[in-house]
Each structure stands twice: as C-alpha cells, then as structure tokens.
A and B are shown apart, each in its own frame.
Chain A
C-alpha cells in the first residue's frame, strides 16, 4: 500500500495559488470571456407565467430583427409550462441588444392557466392546484422510518422540546452565471463551458444531441463557481448548440443574473417539525420529526421529478434509540432543485442543532456538554473540546437572553458532517517530462475555483522534490485523461493520489532510462537530460490507501443582536475542521472561509421570494436576493486538525454545513428566544421578541 511522505516540504504547508497572478490580472480567461472566431450572442426567451399550455411559437419576427442569425424553439409541438422562467425559445445574434429585441417579438400562443401554486404549505392542501396533472403535489402516504418505540420513549424522557424549524429556498448564484460558448459543425461539437464537470457536460451534449462522445470536446480553463449547479450541459447549453448549428457560428450563451434566479436549480426549502426528548443525564432518547420541503417542480411525478432531493438526514448526526421520521417533497410551480453544496446537510444541521440547543436550555445543560454526551463521532468529540477551549466557550456562554443592554451578545455552536467526500476511483492523468527538465501534468479535471492546479503542483513538487512553480498544470479539457466532476468534495482526494501515482511512475521510468538511482530534486535535470530528444510521457491513476471520506467539523459563532431593531451582527465564527491529510493549507483555509461566508448568507440573508398572486420570483437580482458582502463578514478563525494517517479528504462541503445552525443558536442565546426560520432577518427577530404589531391596514 502506498503512503504519503512523513516529512513534507509542500504538502500540509501553504503555497499561494499557482494561477493567482493570472486571475488577479485578468489574464485568466473564464468561460464567459471566450470569444471564438465569428461568435454570436445567445439569449433565452422564458415563460412569463407560472403555468400555461403553449400551442405554438412563431420565430419569424425574431429572425427579421437586424443582426439575428438564428432562432430555435426548445421543442416542437405543444408543450406545458410549469413554472415562471421556464425556457421557451432562444435566439443568436451579433449583439446583445439584437437578441433582446428579438426576444420581445417572438409570438407565443399560450393558454395561460390561472390556477397554480408557489407556496409549500398551500401546495400540500388537498384542493391545491396540481403542478403535475396526474399526481398530487405531495404524496398522500409519505415514507415513515421508525426505530424503537417512540411514543413510549417520550413518556420516559426527563425533558422534551418541540419546534417547527424552517429554511428557505437558496438560489444558485455563483459569481459566473451558467453558460457556454458552443461551436457545432460537421466535425463535431466544441464547448467552452462554465462547468464543474467537463466529462458530464460532454456526455450531456452527446446524449442530448445524439453525438458520439468522441465528437464532443469540452474546455474549461477557468470558471467562476458551481456549487452543484454546473454538472450538465443544461437547457442553456443545448439551446446554444442548436443555435450554433443553425447559425453556422459559435454561440456564447451565458445566462443573465435574472435567468440565473429562475431555472438553474436551488437548495430545497425545509419545514421541520421536531420533537426531541432526553433522559435526565442528557442522553437523547426519543426523536419524532416530520419534514417537507420543495424542490420546485422536481417532485410529484410525470416521471420528470422523482424524489426531488428535498429529504434531509434526520436526526442528523445523532443516534437516538427511538426515532420516527416522516418526510416528503412537495411540488410547487417554481424552478427545480439541484445539488447545492452539501445537499441536505445545512438544513438538517439547522433543524437538529437548533432542537438540541432548545433542549439544552430546557434542561439547564451546557450545549457543548449535551453534544459531547450524544455525538458518537470521536473526531467531532475532539473538535468540540479543542474549539471550546480556543473559543473561550465556558467564559462566553451565558444563560440565554441574560447579557445586559439593548444590544445583546450570544454564542452558539453546531456540528456538521459530509459522509461522502471520497475519491472518484477511475481518475487518471498523465505527465510529460521533457529533456530540459520541464514537466507538464494533464488531467481531465477542472478547477471549480478551489485551487485544483495548485493542489496538483504541490503534490508533484513534493514527490519529485521540485518547486511548485516548476510544475506546469493543464486541466479542463476532455482530451486529457478522464478526471472527476468537482462535486461532493471529491476533487482533491481523487487527484492527489493520481498525481502521486503519476510522479512515482515517472520517477521509476526516468530512473531506469537515465540510470540515475534517484532522479528527484537536484538530480532531476541531469536525469531528464539523459532522455535525449524524446520526452517521457507517463500515465497514472488513482491509488487506494491515500485518500478517505467523511469529514466532520464543528463551528462556534458569536453574535450581537440589537433587540430594538432586530439587527444581527456576526462578530466571530470559529471553524474547527478536519479533512485527513491537509494538502495545501492556504487553499484549504480559502474553502473554509468561503463555506462560512456562504453559510452566513443562508443564516441571515438568502431566500427565494415567490409571489403567490403572480407566481413570479420577486427577487431575481442581487438587490433583493441578498448575499453577504465584505462588510458583513466577521472575524473567521480556522482551527485545523491534520490527520495524515487518514489520507486526503475533501473540505468544500463540510465547511458550510454547521455555520447557519451555529449562528441561529448564537442568536437564540443572545435574545433568549428562538427564531424558528432562516434567514434570520431583523423582521423575524422583532417578531420573535413579540415586538411586531399585527396587520391593521
């Protein structure tokens, strides 16, 4: 079994991003920067109604707009619209304005339905309008999982709490919107995609357009974030391809920010009714929960939806002997869900960790103690103890609502996990070693923004005893050996062992060919020179024993809450995290910073607001879909536990899981009452404090 070196020069140290300069100078070309020869703009016409039957779409007037080179409908014949913003047609033209003008003159003949539903609790009612004609919005008999005797167990509990905890739909808003430049000719299809999975995008194009995989090439040099939204070719990619074919020119179709808010997937909402009970010593004894959430149209049936991904793990990290969980997804007329950074986990953490704190308060127990009593995971046990000490928990934790004054302080903690995060086992790669000693790695992976090139350079430099700057890294091209999609926190544990393998194979061959016993470090150039004129190309693949899965993590939050205005200010977050062997500490810390900031948005600001009357998304922009800005970001302290013995584990998802719960618990600790729904806005804080008067107008 291979193993990582015990003494390291670069691994577990901090190497700045190898492409940092290219990024900050603008030299790095993102997918939305691509200007292929003769390219056209592409734009999409979307439904103005949440529900309608479209009988025909006439593109003639659009095609007559000066500058317009192609127009296509999403599908032939009549079709049904089930949410506001669903795609209808697309146009390609020589300017953005030409496209906008063309979209406005497309004639859509539609029977607009006035019956629709965008609100989860309304959609669950028996007489609700149906999203899918042939099945109810929510299953009539939701799946129930039961262990032990829940009702009897509650009778034995020393303390029981009940709460209805809810989380909002979170929209995918990476800094770079979804999209591609697509060139589709008789020779094949080439796409410059903003994607986190070049291979899955290639397969998506091939499948949708009935092309051989060998005829599709996907390139992603640099892309601006994905978070789970960007694995497929997408409706926008397929439309760009059709436009390209029709216009006989490359088409760049990047979604607008408005588009992005409607139809690219999102994190489902959750409505968690939780009852939790414990014995007098704090041991959890009984858990009863009913949860529903919406994945938009992605539930209910017609073969299109399936489960929809609204279920969450309950009772999350804890083993409760007597547990009953009832869950169901509910369909509404709104954009469907899609994987979103640690799917299921942030809402699960919010619900369960809130319930735990409410129980701790009721029992007069310290929340950290209650967790140490019940969390079965030894790594998190370590993290709680380490974090509590560094955070100064004992001194800072006070009775809820007991801090003096109008602006109250509070602290909270919460835990997370990411059970996946292991490797994609068929990851491959190659390196070309040139006689001049230069070396180039080629992996069919992409950098979603986490620093993939840097990870490859760090591992290679370590094994070859070179410097990271001496390693050239090429990624983001389906012509390279296949790599993983960058999702599920799998990239780092997939590529690190692969690069390790490539390096060792390269050394082996180089040493054989050059006759130098150890070609590493200072012997490297001498050995390479002995290659003569032909470069050495070696292929490697992922190896067992160098990576693992299941990262943990706990976070502590400190907040100030103004009890007269309801304003919440996060003063500090401490993230205590593990991810096995730390590959590059600097980019690891970046991931945790980003995860915490995203978790803050989930806790305090982000919410898709649907309008019941019109069925539109009311906040399709950054003005009213609120994301954390630099002014909102608190002090973030990161405490890492390096566990080389576990091998490499991904950190992208676990970093964001506990943040919202920790903040919510800190807010409850500050004001002495629970805000039962995310995001925790000033309005909700004032309502929880009983200060908001009822409607009179």
Chain B
C-alpha cells in the first residue's frame, strides 16, 4: 500500500476536516485495509473514527431504535433485545464472516464496503468498476454476480446488514457537509445502481453516523445460502420483515442481497403481501413477483431458484409460532 498519515478524530467536525479531499475514515478496517493493500483505494490519511463519542451505542425509543455506526456486528449478534425485537437483524449479523471479523467490523463499514467482484478485486484486471473499458464478468466468470443491474456492471451488493435494514425500512443518517441527511437503503445504494464506479451513494467525506430502525415490524427474518456452511459470502441472501396482526401481514417488506448492485426490493411484491395470510401459495407468488425481471447470465442462473426458495422460506419464518 502507499504511505499515508494516520490521525484519530475526537469529533465529527475534526474527522471531516482531517479526511478532507483525499483521506479515508477507518473503523474496523476489514474492507479498507484490503483495498489499500491491493492499491484499489488510495488515501493520504486514515482518520480513525473509533473514538467519536456516542457512536457505538444501541438506543431504544418507542417508534424506532438507533444503532450507532461504530456498533460492531458482534454487538448486534449478542444483544438480547435485538434478538427479541429484530430477530432478522440478529440472524443477519450472525451470518457475517467469522467471529474475529464480527468482533471488529462495524455497522458503518458493513454498509459502506466495496464490491467483492473478483474482477474488481483482482490487481491485474482493469474492469469497468476501475475505470476500465468493459465488465469482464458479463461474458466471463459470473457465478457470483447479479441478476439485476441498472447499468453494465453486475457486481452485487453483499452487505447482509443492508439487506435486513432494507426489509426493516431502516434509514442511514449520514453527515454530509456538516449536515445530517437521511437515506433509505434504496437511496444509500442508488448510485451503485446507476454508476459502475460507485459502490454506494456516499461521497468523499460523507460519514455514516447511525442507522434508525422503525419498530413497526416486530417480525423479521434473514437467511442466506453460501457454498460453505460458515465464513463464506452469501450466494443469495434474503430478509423479510412485517407486523402480523390477526394472522395477516402488515407493512411487509422483502429485500435480497447478492443478486443486484442494490438491495433488491420489489414494491409490487410488498403491496401484494400486505394484508395477506402467509401460506405457501402467497409466498410463492411474492417470490415470482420479486424475481420476475431477473436476467440470468451464463453461470448465475442457479441464483433464480435459490432466491425463490429463500424468499419463500424467509417469509414463512415470519409466521413464527403464531
């Protein structure tokens, strides 16, 4: 990696000033260090944000919970209240990487992480995502790639937390130019949908400070399938959340990871599910709607039946014991 300076910020203002035009924030560093080592990202300064006050807390309010951007994935996994109120969030956290990584990985870092596309990550392929001329994956080895994209790049979003946050209709609060802006998960990744050079909608200097999760959906679930049992990226992940009133879904939302460059959400499916009693036929129809426009490539067609199964299973988990 290239040489850089290192500084610790004690306020968001000083963090922003230190990072300036060419710096990068560092918290857990899982993704950033890999990017720096492979010369995929350059930074003249790393600004340690782990000491920013108040950002490592999980706080409860009646209408929503607040999860600080510095909360670790392990904190979420081990929080008994999260398990009770947002079971899908705990499941998503528990499926992230390995225990050692979860111990240091933060919510902010998980959301902001860059593409895992093996062409993007390879030091000697100059792909579209690195300002090259073409997407190698499109006609190449695309077994891990997207079924949906808004541009030519087919590298999928892999953040498990983004998937469950989308289902929970959570909002990321980002500090931009000294002001807080509120981004839905769709908005948080919108630029990746449009532009192959982007992994998300964050600009230079933008700092994720917290995520707010509405309490409107007490039932939630998350499932993923990987090649291996553990410590492996999802081939497809799925999250669903809703309230169940008199056996019927209220405000249901479904989101999928690893099949699109944004958390894949289909509003017509959410609307279809609203007010329904969950059964196999309902879940199947929702899965059909969600995957209707999938465009499989040579090697990722398997993701269609896999996603279909996961949508059905994740939805049916919302029934719980009731």
Contact = CB atoms under 8 A, between A and B. Distances in A.
B229 A632 contact: yes
Which DSSP category, helix, strand, loop or mixed, fits chain A's interface? loop
B140 interface: yes
Given A612-B140, A697-B297, A692 B302 contact: yes
B143 interface: yes
B258 to A, nearest CB: 13
B124 A614 contact: yes
A564 B296 contact: no
Interface stretch (B15-23, B42-50, B205-213, B305-313): B305-313
B227 A695 contact: no
B230 A618 contact: no
Interface stretch (A224-232, A266-274, A623-631): A623-631
B261 to A, nearest CB: 14
B6 interface: no
Interface residues on B, range: 35 or more
B228 A605 contact: yes
A693 interface: yes
B235 interface: yes
B225 interface: yes
A567 B225 CA distance: 7
Which DSSP category, helix, strand, loop or mixed, fits chain B's interface? loop
Contacts, number: 103
Interface in A600-634: 604-605, 609, 611-614, 616, 618-620, 623-624, 626, 628-629, 631-632
Interface string B142-183: 011000000000000000000000000000000000000000
Interface string B219-259: 00000010111111101000000000000000000000000
Interface string B33-73: 00000000000000000000000000000000000000000
A697 B296 contact: yes
Contact of B295 (A97, A613, A692, A696): A696
Interface stretch (A25-33, A420-428, A514-522, A680-688): A680-688
A504 B152 CA distance: 75
B227 A618 contact: no
A48 interface: yes
A686 B138 CA distance: 21
Interface string A572-595: 000000000000000000000000
B227 A626 contact: yes
A616 B126 CA distance: 12
A683 B125 contact: no
B83 interface: no
B124 A692 contact: no
A613 B118 contact: no
B89 to A, nearest CB: 22
B298 interface: yes
B299 interface: yes
A681 B119 CA distance: 21
A84 B123 CA distance: 12
Contacts of A569: 229
B297 to A, nearest CB: 5
A125 interface: no
Contacts of B304: 692-693
Contacts of A628: 228
B214 interface: no
B228 A632 contact: yes
B91 to A, nearest CB: 16
A48 B125 CA distance: 9
Nearest to A629: B231
Contact of B306 (A84, A632, A682): A682
Q: Point out which of A620, A629, A632, A682 has the most chain B C-beta atoms below 10 A from its C-beta.
A: A682
A483 interface: no
A35 interface: no
B136 A629 contact: no
A694 interface: yes
Contacts of B122: 616, 618, 620
A564 B312 CA distance: 11
Contacts of A97: 1
A191 B140 CA distance: 43
Nearest to A693: B301
Given A619-B118, A692-B302, A697-B295, A614 B136 contact: yes
A681 B306 contact: no
B293 to A, nearest CB: 10
A183 B300 CA distance: 50
A544 to B, nearest CB: 47
B296 A693 contact: yes
A687 B301 CA distance: 8
Interface residues on A, range: 35 or more
Nearest to B147: A697
A96 to B, nearest CB: 11
B139 interface: yes
Contacts of B302: 566, 682-683, 686-687, 691-692
B141 interface: yes
A682 B225 contact: yes
A185 interface: no
Contact of A565 (B144, B229, B301, B306): B306
Contacts of B309: 562, 564-565
B232 A694 contact: no
A695 B297 contact: yes
A629 B232 CA distance: 10
A632 B310 CA distance: 21
A626 B143 CA distance: 14
A614 B125 contact: yes
Nearest to A683: B302
Contacts of A605: 227-228
Contacts of B118: 609, 618-619, 624
Contacts of B305: 564, 686, 691-693
B140 A611 contact: yes
Nearest to A84: B124
Nearest to A616: B124
Interface string A94-127: 0001001000000000000000000000000000
Interface in B116-132: 116, 118-119, 122, 124-125
A565 B310 contact: yes
A356 to B, nearest CB: 27
Interface in A138-172: none
A606 to B, nearest CB: 11
Interface in A654-697: 681-683, 686-687, 691-697
A624 B232 CA distance: 9
A696 B293 CA distance: 10
A618 B296 contact: no
Contacts of A100: 1
B141 A618 contact: yes
Contacts of A687: 301-302
A631 B228 contact: yes
A618 B141 CA distance: 9
Nearest to B235: A682
Contact of A629 (B1, B228, B233, B296): B228
Contacts of A692: 296, 301-302, 304-305
A566 B144 CA distance: 15
Contacts of B144: 624
B136 A611 contact: yes
Contact of A611 (B141, B227, B298): B141
A620 B121 CA distance: 10
Contact of A48 (B124, B230, B298, B310): B124
12 contacts: A611-B125, A612-B140, A613-B140, A618-B118, A626-B228, A628-B228, A629-B228, A632-B228, A682-B306, A687-B302, A692-B304, A695-B296
Given A614-B136, A682-B235, 4 more contacts: A605-B228, A609-B118, A618-B119, A632-B228
Nearest 10 interchain pairs by C-beta? A631-B230, A564-B309, A697-B295, A692-B301, A683-B302, A631-B229, A686-B302, A691-B305, A692-B302, A565-B225
Interface of A: 48, 84, 97, 100, 562, 564-567, 569, 604-605, 609, 611-614, 616, 618-620, 623-624, 626, 628-629, 631-632, 681-683, 686-687, 691-697
